[in-house]
Amino acid sequence: MTYSIVARDQQTGELGVAVQSHWFAVGPIVPWARPGVGAVATQANVRVAHGPDALELLAGGASAGEALERLLAADLGAASRQLAIVDANGRVAAHTGHSCMAEAGHVTGEQVSCQANIMASPAVWPRMLEAFTTAAGPLAGRLLAALDAAEAAGGDIRGRQSAALLVVPATGEPWEAEVRLHVEDHPEPLVELRRLYELHRAYELAGRGDELTGEGRHDEAAVLYDQAFALAPGNHELLFWAGLGAVQTGELERGLGLVREAIAMQPGWSLLLPRLSAEVAPAAPTVCAHLGLA
């Protein structure tokens, strides 16, 4: 009831999974990944345990193929399941049971596997692989390109409902993720997933700006706040901090305009502004004075 992709980025070592389905809340069911271990998609007549169990086998030293073989050998329902695994070394293994509902199948490439079932066309999974391998940029964006290609090729015969994107770093704690986004129920889940990914990128920049602010590097932080706002111009929080950043770097009128716009969208910013010390936000006293909030 799903199309998905698992992959390893050959340059960064990141591991990721992306999925779309006409099923509620596919995010907690299909995609599994752990830094330095692997990524897994478990679907069709889904056995959710295959996700964490596969990661445990990989963490214990099994290859993707060995993990797949062991899981299927112990699964009486294997004929109705799909399972795809990529390990931290980029080895890939995938299974489409002969009882999976047509159109169903999978295709593997270098450090990537695409799989789908109950599709409108058998072109879905090959188109996903083609889109992924020809796309440029970060792993998350390439995974999204594969989902878009699946939908363009006909997608799930029942339509659309939920989607998810999970990317983990090459190394790190088991709980760490660089991107973890779920769309649980939406008429256009891929559109919403991409919107959330852009918002994620914006807040990632803002988070780095906060780190620089904590180090007293306010001018550098201001640049990141402005970049974050550019990615999500309708977000009043990013608008507010971009305004303070603009004032910080000498763009007084632009900065005041941005802060006024943020306050118009969310009046609470006018209450927060006077609470900001010059140590936290050096531009805050200046903005307060110009807006009559001092």
* The domain boundary residue, chosen from 140, 156, 185: 185
Q: Average of pLDDT values for 132-145?
A: 98
Q: Do residue 34 and residue 179 come from a single domain?
A: yes
Residue 272: the pLDDT is 97
Of 159, 185, 211, which residue sits at a domain end? 185
For the segment 20-63, what is each residue's pLDDT rounded down to a tens digit? Answer: 999 999 999 999 999 999 999 999 999 999 999 999 999 999 99
**In whole angstroms, what is the distance from residue 71 CA to residue 207 CA?**
40
Domain that holds residue 252: 201-291
Judged against a pLDDT cut of 90, whether residue 186 lies above it is answered with: yes
| pLDDT above 90 for 263 | yes
> How many whole angstroms separate alpha carbon 48 and alpha carbon 32?
10
Same domain, 210 and 177: no
| pLDDT tens per residue, range 63-82 | 999 999 999 999 999 999 99
Asked whether residue 222 falls in the same domain as residue 113, the answer is no
- Type and span of the H or E element at 109: strand 105-109
State the CATH number of the domain containing residue 12: 3.60.20.10
Instruction: Tell me what pLDDT residue 121 has.
Output: 95
How is 13-48 classified by DSSP, letter by letter?
Answer: --EEEEEEESSTT-TTTSEEEETTTEEEEEEES--T
Query: Does one domain contain both 175 and 222?
Result: no
**Where a domain ends, among 131, 160, 185?**
185
Asked whether residue 35 is domain-assigned, the answer is yes
pLDDT at position 50:
98
Please give the Cα distance from 83 to 61 (Å, whole number): 19
122 and 217 housed in the same domain: no
Task: Give yes or no: residues 277 and 223 share one domain.
Answer: yes
44 lies in the same domain as 69 = yes
List, in order, residues 6 or more apart from 282 with CB less than 8 Å away.
218, 248
The strand order across the sheet containing 81-87 reads 31-34, 38-44, 81-87, 92-96
Name residue 282's amino acid: P
State the average pLDDT over residues 133-137.
98
Task: Identify the pLDDT of residue 132.
Answer: 98
